[in-house]
Structure 1
Amino acid sequence: MIAPQKSLLTLLTEPASIAVIGASDDKNKVGGRPVDYLQRFGYPGRIYPINPGRERVQGLPAYASLAQLPETPDMAIIALAGPAVSASIEACAEKGVGVAVIMSSGFAEAGDEGKEAQRRLMEIAARAGMRLIGPNSQGTADFHRGAVANFSTMFKQLPPQDGPVAVISQSGATSAALYTLLREQHIGVRYVMATGNEADVTVSELAYASLEDSALKVLVLYMESIKDPEMLVKAAALARERGVPIIAIKAGSSEKGAIAAQSHTGALSGEDDVIDVFLRQHGIWRASDLNEIAQALPLYLKGLTHIGRKLVVISNSGSSCVMSADLADTLALPMAELSTATQSGVAAALASYATSKNPIDLTAALMGNSALLKQVFEALKQDDEAQTLLVSLPVAGEGYDLDLMAEHIAAFEVESQRLVMVSSTLESILAPFRRQGIATFKGEPQALRAMDQITRHRALLRREPAHTQEAPLIILPAGVEAFLSEADSLTALASAGLPVVPHTVCNTAQEAIEAWKTTGGPVVLKACSDKLPHKSEYGLVFLNLNAEAHILAAAKKCEETMQNMGITPSYVISPMEVGRWEMALGAKNDPNYGPVIMLSDGGKYIESMPDYCLLMPPFSVEDVRRAIAGLRIAPIFGGVRGEPPIAIEPLADMAIRLANLMLRNEDVIASVDLNPVLVCTDKIVVLDALIERRHRLMPGARAARHAAPELLTD
């Protein structure tokens, strides 16, 4: 029987009825907890425990089999041992169940035999049009409607509260940990969903599906793999359209393939680096751990679309002022330069020995004069430099009217539309502020790191997307080698409009001499063969040759070495170019995420002393400028020791052309290495190039590409 056509979110959060196959009367067993939770948390639909050994389960009538049910349930929870799961899925498919949540383990995570068993489950479900969560899933939970098909113990430890956050995770334990961290901060969570082995439904699909709910304000994701990047791109685009930020943890990284060692780009940019740039490209903030997510959520939930990075610190502790300023400097959060008028207004409110400059030390005067904070805020209200405020109260209690302070801060936030954060180590101090909807933190570091994160993330979401430009279709020369020769690589790139060094292919030493004479100055001579991708490793690159004897000696060395390697001797001659700096550009077609462009410090030490950044097309000149600003060599472009600045635009134009070339030719080009790329004051030229051909299409999805890299500051 074909399952009814309801949306995935409806099936998981608004099922008219739920069957629990393997239901237990013991509320602490996997088959017992969902029955308990559905009743405990107010699920309004019908619950059908399936247990042939009992007449009743937790006070509900039990059924011997799914076939005996009076209706077809929208959802079935499978809480049986591995071997019985297949028969249960067959029964669900026959009955026309919409979605099955498989809590059972022993499938793909258990080896080849388990993978085959999981594949058979998927075949059964697909034929019936039934969706699968899992197997090896902790389950799903909707705390808005009480559809809690989950066996986590944490829902008893910390009672749920509906809220604007969805937690979607491959790992059940991590979903529960995130739930715990948020609930401990008094943040309500609407959905907690764990996908397990992802035989069918993935984190990406649940992220997209959950956006049907207009009440959601933040999506939190945990992924160990991204099986369907195209769906994640769709989710990210819809989330951006609806103003819902996505924060994600992507755990794990993979080994680089053996072929990557032949490509500088491949050797440097492993899968984890590519995922970094992929997530940035689509406005998803990649968090490093669960605490980073939890500490930033209060700021995301404020709903402010713009939070300024210029900071004012206010405290009744001088040490808190100093430490906050130090950390702000580390995070590149600028301390606001308050105007003279603002400082005068602050000084009028404070004791004569207090500090009116930023950071503002209120001293012990705040004790017994809780209105002091309001006076300081009044002075700051008219100063546009005071974009975000941190109020640190390491000491407060008797003698401090915290409720009054909280009222004053809340009123200031509404009137000024600026963010105020309050930090303290004591929960009792923070509680009055939290009741007023003010973002609270257990310390200044947590507050400032959260502020740094959200301002960078918001800037990332505000950037204008770049647009793909036309590029020619490249016809590569016939051949069986993985790489093109340098000459063929340069020719192909020149046809795409990239500025490459003039070059001549020579097959004899005499031809090399004639090419040198034609050049009329110093030249570079290199071995040239598609069987020899890296000439320098064999000492077959000769620089600054400007005499016939030198040309002959270099040609002889190439000839001897290449013949010993079984390669027909051939050379490429090009003018000896001189410029300001050597860069490297690279590109590779990732099998899952599409083209990735690398910019790096160049030369033969590129892998020994890596200094690189990645971009994902399409991107703009400004995106390249920001990316280069993060390199160690960035000061070179600004001009040092009396040297004029180097124009970034020619380098950016080359990177964009290379990106468009890869997009247009991703079926035939696997990777491109341009190293070195000579950067001059006002121009740029490719001195060496290596194109790796793709003999067949690589497997995997092709994620849509429409955004630009991260903006680091407002």
Structure 2
Amino acid sequence: MVKSESPEAAPDRAALAHALFAPRTIALVGASADQAKLASRPQRVLRKHGYRGAIVPINPARSEILGERSYPALTAAPVQIDHAFVMVPATAVADVIADCCAARVRVATIFTAGFAETGEEGRRRQDAMVAMAKRGGVRLVGPNCLGIINVSGGVTISANAVLEQETLLRGGLSVISQSGSMLGGIITRAQERGLGFSKLVSVGNECDIGVGELVDLLVDDPDTRVILLFLEAFRDAPVLGAAARRAFEAGKPVIALKLGRSMVGREIATTHTGALAGADDVAEAFFRANGIIRVEIFEALFEAAQLVLGHRPPKARRVAVLTVSGGAAAMVIDRLGIAGVDVVPPTPQIISNLAAKNIPITDATLTDLPMGRAEGGIYGSILEELTASDHCDAVVAVQGSTAAYSAESVRERVLAAPRGDKPLAVFLGPRAGESLRVLQEGGVAAFRTPEACADAVRAYCDWRAPQPLISGEPQQIVALDRAVAAAGRGTLSERAAATLLSRIGVPFVPSQVIRSAQEPVHLPFPVAAKILSADIPHKTEAGGVALDIEDASALAAAFDAMLARIRLAHPEARIEGVLVQPMQRGLGEVIVGFRRDRDVGPVVMVGVGGILAEVCAGHAVRLAPVSLDSALEMIESVPGLAVVRGYRNRPAGDLVSLARVIHLMSLLALADDGIVREAEINPLIVRSDGVVAVDALVRIAEH
């Protein structure tokens, strides 16, 4: 687990938050008097939405803009500027930042595009700007961003067109978006549902102030109750992780929508782990490790807020469903089932309690009330029993088409009923606007589509408390660093990799290296023979593996044939010899891998191993290092590992020993200076008593 402190020291946090969200003086650099131009919008909307501080337009060609005195440069302004909004061409931004430094401006938000997002030249321009701002004590938001909004303070430092509307609803939601254009969409869609906001930030390129630092500031914001993230990539994952943990402890849920679920891995790795643990697996591991709730559907990003507010992660993934429309409920249940959420029937105790009130229900998975029996008293009594019961972790209440025409019926069924402390999600339908408003005002999470309802409930069921930070025992770290230091650099040969991992506690099969077909082998037959070369990490694909060799003569023949194949296919490969091992049998083969992701840091992976590692679906990825308990949970979460968990009447494997290897591999994250880049055991043979590693690959940084 990567640890990071917030970039601002505690005494500076309040000053930074004030300059970002409640500046007394705002300079608009590049402001325009032409109201048809985008550069006029920030000034107009600031006054429109009630900003009471000083606005200082900066434009050398004008002495007055929209009724405000204009100045030729920031350094000419007669007042101290807290926040500058920069709207000049990219080639002129550096001069503006120099003026910000000279005028001791606390924060500059850069609307202008044309920096790192455009290529190498833009990146150099951005890096030079950041270096200048850092020397001058100026913090930067952007570039290539739409700005900052503080609804309660009327602070609309933004050129977003959504600010042309008459009012912005106040509320407890705060949003940080890496997409500037989506900020307007979030405001529009949420306000249609009556949801209001506290703070909204478009971060653009995040050249300085990033998502993580902003989350950290919002944890201390009394107006923020839920933090929403619209993400395209991780740019400051360690800071974001630490901030999300603070938010969890403060009782402020962090909900994220991240794009790119279908992308392949972002970097070419030499191990199967690099191929399997792609971008989305790593993102999922990051969210899970840091207590962040992940949604998949845009509407669920803000609609889920009411569902999770005031709640902690569930004990399991069990949902009870009450409906007056079987078809509508089926649309929600289907999606929950696909996501692996258990829809559970009412318990005998619930059935008995309701029977005592003359309300008969069955033990069917779906509690389906005919419309004629769905009056408020009956519906409310069932809802009360379900939300108070420990047999489920959340409740979904599905309303029929009457929700579109009778908000009063929804009020009677849902709001008038006593409710337990379970999260309650109500699916109304797309045209039940008044019912939606009634429930939201009553503090109940309401949804217009079955997809968003199911996604929000699934996201809540997947929510976990932050993964405990593992530091490792001092003696473990010393042994690890010594083993790594003795291993060499670059991609290790299989034998060197096995030696390294053996030294940290991973059990390996005995082996012997032979360099000629006639060299005697002091191991029991049958054996496996494998080419030994750091230049050939995947030996099977190269024809460098022979199995079930029964005797010395068969081994000699396999040796000669293997070297002939390898020399023909890989004439440049450096060959150390052939590695011979006794054949191993067990209940199943597992792959355990470790690598350092460029965005979130070290991760560990477990899945089905052997030659089927990339064919069999299902693997678990977590941020490293992990505890033994977390490793056991990883094993339980992989469907393909049922074979070692005791599938049907098959014997169970030694899961504790398997978990210990996962834990030991994850400790490679603690190696000095992050020197171990990736490592893999494939296969790890799981037996009823113990495990044994058969093959390994390790890559250590060259410098």
1:228 and 2:236 are equivalent in the alignment: yes
More off after superposition, 383-392 vs 8-17: 383-392
1:240 Cα deviation from its structure 2 partner: 1.8
Partner in structure 2 of residue 522 of structure 1: 526
More off after superposition, 442-451 vs 325-334: 325-334
3-state DSSP of counterpart to 2:584: coil
3-state DSSP of counterpart to 2:692: strand
3-state DSSP of counterpart to 1:63: coil
TM-score by length of 2: 0.88
Q: 1 CA distance for matches of 2:122 and 2:466?
A: 45
Partner in structure 2 of residue 691 of structure 1: 698
Q: 1:84 aligns with which of 72, 77, 92?
A: 92
Q: 2:167 aligns with which of 159, 166, 173?
A: 159
1:671 Cα deviation from its structure 2 partner: 1.9
1:651 Cα deviation from its structure 2 partner: 0.8
1:349 Cα deviation from its structure 2 partner: 6.0
Partner in structure 1 of residue 126 of structure 2: 118
1:249 Cα deviation from its structure 2 partner: 3.1
Q: 1:419 aligns with which of 423, 442, 445?
A: 423
Cα distance, 1:158–1:330 mapped onto 2, change above 3 Å: farther
Map 1:225-374; keep pairs closer than 5 Å: 225-252=233-260, 256-258=266-268, 260=269, 262-301=270-309, 303=311, 309-340=317-348, 342-346=350-354, 359-365=366-372, 369-374=375-380
Map 1:548-563; keep pairs closer than 5 Å: 548-560=552-564
3-state DSSP of counterpart to 2:342: coil
Cα distance, 1:63–1:536 mapped onto 2, change above 3 Å: closer
Cα distance, 1:319–1:348 mapped onto 2, change above 3 Å: farther
1:468 and 2:472 are equivalent in the alignment: yes
Letter in 2 for 1:406: R
Partner in structure 2 of residue 46 of structure 1: 54
Map 1:452-531; keep pairs closer than 5 Å: 452-457=458-463, 460-461=464-465, 468-469=472-473, 470-471=476-477, 472=479, 473-475=481-483, 482-511=490-519, 513=520, 515=521, 518-531=522-535
Q: 2 CA distance for matches of 1:265 and 1:618?
A: 16
Q: 1:409 aligns with which of 394, 410, 414?
A: 414
- Aligned residues of 1:587 and 1:658 also touching (Cα < 8 A): yes
- Aligned residues of 2:497 and 2:698 also touching (Cα < 8 A): yes
CA RMSD of aligned residues (A): 3.2
Cα distance, 1:594–1:338 mapped onto 2, change above 3 Å: closer
Letter in 2 for 1:508: S
1:279 Cα deviation from its structure 2 partner: 2.7
- Aligned residues of 2:25 and 2:82 also touching (Cα < 8 A): yes
More off after superposition, 153-162 vs 140-149: 153-162
- Aligned residues of 2:89 and 2:112 also touching (Cα < 8 A): yes
1:498 Cα deviation from its structure 2 partner: 0.9
Partner in structure 1 of residue 624 of structure 2: 617
Gaps of 5+ in 2: 1-10
1:429 Cα deviation from its structure 2 partner: 3.2
Q: 1 CA distance for matches of 2:393 and 2:556?
A: 69
- Aligned residues of 1:349 and 1:372 also touching (Cα < 8 A): no
Q: 2 CA distance for matches of 1:386 and 1:613?
A: 25
Aligned residues: 681
- Aligned residues of 2:314 and 2:393 also touching (Cα < 8 A): no
Letter in 2 for 1:96: R
- Aligned residues of 1:355 and 1:362 also touching (Cα < 8 A): no
Q: 2:682 aligns with which of 669, 675, 678?
A: 675
Cα distance, 1:37–1:338 mapped onto 2, change above 3 Å: same
Letter in 2 for 1:505: V
Cα distance, 1:26–1:161 mapped onto 2, change above 3 Å: farther
1:377 Cα deviation from its structure 2 partner: 4.3
- Aligned residues of 1:316 and 1:395 also touching (Cα < 8 A): no
1:480 Cα deviation from its structure 2 partner: 8.2
C-alpha distance after superposition, 1:362-418 (max 9, x if no partner): 323257x54443444466576443654333222327996x447526634545x5223
Q: 2 CA distance for matches of 1:380 and 1:479?
A: 59
1:99 and 2:107 are equivalent in the alignment: yes
Partner in structure 1 of residue 537 of structure 2: 533
Q: 1:594 aligns with which of 589, 595, 601?
A: 601
Q: 1 CA distance for matches of 2:106 and 2:693?
A: 58
Q: 1:33 aligns with which of 41, 47, 58?
A: 41
Letter in 2 for 1:461: A
1:176 and 2:184 are equivalent in the alignment: yes
3-state DSSP of counterpart to 1:537: coil
Report percent identity of matched pairs.
Answer: 28
1:209 Cα deviation from its structure 2 partner: 2.2
- Aligned residues of 2:199 and 2:224 also touching (Cα < 8 A): no
1:47 Cα deviation from its structure 2 partner: 1.3
1:510 Cα deviation from its structure 2 partner: 3.5
1:18 and 2:22 are equivalent in the alignment: no
More off after superposition, 645-654 vs 482-491: 482-491
Q: 1 CA distance for matches of 2:329 and 2:295?
A: 27
3-state DSSP of counterpart to 1:163: strand
- Aligned residues of 2:603 and 2:625 also touching (Cα < 8 A): no
Gaps of 5+ in 1: 697-714
Partner in structure 1 of residue 457 of structure 2: 451
3-state DSSP of counterpart to 1:544: strand
Map 1:369-448; keep pairs closer than 5 Å: 369-377=375-383, 383-385=389-391, 388-396=394-402, 402-403=407-408, 406=411, 409-410=414-415, 412-413=417-418, 416-425=420-429, 426-448=432-454
1:654 Cα deviation from its structure 2 partner: 0.7
3-state DSSP of counterpart to 1:672: strand
3-state DSSP of counterpart to 1:549: helix
Cα distance, 1:329–1:398 mapped onto 2, change above 3 Å: closer
3-state DSSP of counterpart to 1:136: coil
